[in-house]
Amino acid sequence: MKVSLQLKDKALILVAVPLAFQLVFVATLTVLLRQAETATLRESHSKLILAESNSVMRSFADAGMALYMYQLSGSQSSLERFQDLCKSIPAQIKTLRVMLRDSPNQTESLNRVERVSNAGLKILGQASMLLSDGQSVSQLKNSRQELNNMIQELMSEIQRFSKEQEKAEHVNPEGAAQAKELVVRWLAVGVMVNIIIAVLLALYFNKSTTRRLNVLIDNTDHLARGETLSPYVEGEDEIAKLDKVFHKMADALTEAERSKQKLMAMMSHDLRTPLTSIRSSLSLLSKGAMGEMPDKARIQIDGAEKNTKRLLNVINDLLDIEKMEAGKLEMKYSDCVLQDVFDEAAESVAELAKNAKVEMEVPKTSITFQADRERLVRVLINLLSNAIKFSPSNSTIKMTAEEEGETLEIRVIDQGRGIPLEFREKVFVRFQQVNPEDKQEKQGTGLGLAICKAIVDGHKGTIGVESEPGKGSSFWIRIPMKQPSPRTDIRPT
């Protein structure tokens, strides 16, 4: 049975597995460190006990030597040293007993050492009294011999005590070193295992998550380019669910695109053709082809003809935008004289400018360049029409041109109301207008500047506007002086 994990479960695994290992690793390492510490402390404690027991033996030897020096020189300092050493020996035995309080098995050995020590102290005391009473050297020799015998016996007892101490404490000189080496080895093993776990989890996460996320990213690119999406990603987690939703969205977009194409086809055939026929009929009626008509009827017919013309313009603009987005609008580059482009565009809007009481300044220029002349004229007509619509009466609209290296810059400058900063990028998006009321008042569709941008993009150029509210606007286009071979992928951005 295949288990399907959610992303939260995989994230929990990524955290829990290393954490569990770290807990086990730390616990084991703690035990090893404690064992190493215990071995070190035990070794240190045993060394202290052995050092203290050897100190008892040295104290006896030093006491005998101090007594001997007192015999030879009668030095009071030697006598005081002898007395201090004799007093320190019981204290050292007591210290040993305290150090062995947790080792009851060593009590008997320590008792034997204490008995021999007490006997030695008794001999030392007797020898000291003989010296104080002025006894003969032969008698002191006997005491010295007894002291030597006692030291030998004490040495034997201390050696036996030391061996028993080592046996009782299991003192191994190499124990602490081995414990430390074991800790170092465990650290190395822990690091290696931790690396292996990290690599395995990374591979698992890459296989189960990252690779599938890359499929989603690729699908995003495919959708943007209009290509077929990759197959559904496997699994039942959040990524798989997101991929299913993404496929549904892509299907919905595809269906919407089909619906839009059907609408465009309907507009092209079922709307534009009859509207063109209606406009022609209205034009004939307005010109009296069917006989003289009353003034009121002629006014109504003229209004109907204008509205029909406006509706046809909207349909034509929508169809052009659709062609540009589909990459079906072929650019036809040729050598152009900029003066001819300016004159044709100005002539096309001359009647509109006259009715609006707006003057146009057309510069004289000898610039030649390469462009799709017909569509560039359309760009200027759209820019001039907008400038006329939004310019006050008795104002002036200027066109300028300037070569900047391999780039041609054309500007249309008006003295209109200007464009607020937040709208300067939006005006090139379809159906976007600075003032929603302009749709009725200025008879605008919001498609003119979007078409301008698409055509300029087709020329590998840029379009923009510089404006300040109340002080007019300056629309500019910049296109290369030379164009490449014809291309068809003209898409407004």
Which superfamily is assigned to 329-480 in CATH?
Histidine kinase-like ATPase, C-terminal domain (3.30.565.10)
Q: Which helix (H) or strand (E) holds 44?
A: helix 7-73
- Among the listed residues 151, 164, 56, 44, the one whose alpha carbon sits nearest the alpha carbon of residue 104: 164
Averaged over 264-293, what is the pLDDT?
A: 75
Is the pLDDT score of 478 beyond 80?
yes
Q: Which CATH number is associated with domain 238-324?
A: 1.10.287.130
Residue 289 three-state SS: coil
As given in the structure block, the two tokens for residue 2 are: 């295949």
Q: Which helix (H) or strand (E) holds 235?
A: none
Q: φ and ψ at 168, to 5 degrees?
A: -65, -40
Q: In this predicted model, what pLDDT tens digit does every residue of 163-185 receive, in sequence order?
A: 766 665 554 555 556 666 776 77
Confidence (pLDDT) at 171: 46
Is the pLDDT score of 359 beyond 70?
yes
Cβ(34)–Cβ(41) below 8 Å: no
Averaged over 203-207, what is the pLDDT?
A: 69
Q: In this structure, which long-range contacts are made by residues 447-450, counting pairs with CB atoms below 8 Å and at least 24 apart in sequence?
A: 447/314, 447/317, 447/318, 447/321, 448/317, 448/382, 448/385, 448/386, 449/382, 449/386, 450/321, 450/492
Paired strand residues for 464 = 476
pLDDT band for position 488 (50/70/90)?
A: very low
Angle at CA of residue 49, ends 43 and 51, nearest 5°: 100
Q: In this predicted model, what pLDDT tens digit does every residue of 83-108 receive, in sequence order?
A: 888 888 888 888 877 877 777 667 77
Helix pair 107-133, 137-169: axis angle to 10 deg: 160
Cβ(137)–Cβ(36) below 8 Å: no
Confidence (pLDDT) at 354: 92
Q: In angstroms, rounded to a whole number, what is the distance separating the alpha carbons of residues 368 and 74?
A: 133
Total residue count of the chain as it appears in this document = 493
Confidence (pLDDT) at 1: 43
| Cα dist from 266 to 87, 280, 281, 451, whole Å | 124, 20, 22, 21
Q: Would you tell me which CATH number, out of the four given (1.20.120.1730, 4.10.490.10, 3.50.50.60, 1.20.1050.10), belongs to the domain 7-180? A: 1.20.120.1730
Is the pLDDT score of 487 beyond 60?
no
Please provide the average confidence, as pLDDT, over all residues in the chain. Answer: 77
- Among the listed residues 145, 203, 421, 457, the one whose alpha carbon sits nearest the alpha carbon of residue 331: 457
Is the pLDDT score of 142 beyond 90?
no
Is the pLDDT score of 351 beyond 80?
yes
As given in the structure block, the two tokens for residue 14 are: 């990524």
Q: In angstroms, rounded to a whole number, what is the distance separating the alpha carbons of residues 101 and 104?
A: 6
Paired strand residues for 412 = 399, 475
As given in the structure block, the two tokens for residue 174 are: 């190499």
End-to-end Cα, the chain, rounded Å: 50
Residue 329 three-state SS: coil
Quickly tell me which residue has 């053709």 as its tokens: 273
Q: In this predicted model, what pLDDT tens digit does every residue of 403-462 receive, in sequence order?
A: 988 999 999 999 888 888 877 777 887 766 655 454 444 555 667 888 888 889 888 899
Share of the chain above pLDDT 90, in %: 17
Q: In angstroms, rounded to a whole number, what is the distance separating the alpha carbons of residues 195 and 200?
A: 9
- Maximum mean pLDDT: which of 188-192, 207-211, 477-481: 477-481
- Among the listed residues 242, 196, 187, 235, the one whose alpha carbon sits nearest the alpha carbon of residue 219: 242
User: DSSP string of 99-119?
Assistant: HTTT-GGGHHHHHHHHHHHHH
Averaged over 26-38, what is the pLDDT?
A: 72
Share of the chain above pLDDT 70, in %: 76
pLDDT band for position 231 (50/70/90)?
A: confident
Is the pLDDT score of 489 beyond 60?
no
Q: In this predicted model, what pLDDT tens digit does every residue of 100-134 receive, in sequence order?
A: 777 766 777 778 777 877 877 787 777 777 776 66
Is the pLDDT score of 70 beyond 70?
yes
Q: In this predicted model, what pLDDT tens digit does every residue of 144-163 receive, in sequence order?
A: 677 677 777 767 777 776 67
Residues whose CB falls within 8 Å of the CB of residue 420, separated by 6 or more in sequence, listed in order: 434, 469
Q: In angstroms, rounded to a whole number, what is the distance separating the alpha carbons of residues 357 and 326?
A: 40
Is the pLDDT score of 390 beyond 70?
yes
In the chain, what are the domain boundaries? 7-180, 238-324, 329-480
- Maximum mean pLDDT: which of 8-17, 153-162, 216-225, 415-424: 415-424
Residue 290 three-state SS: coil
Confidence (pLDDT) at 196: 82
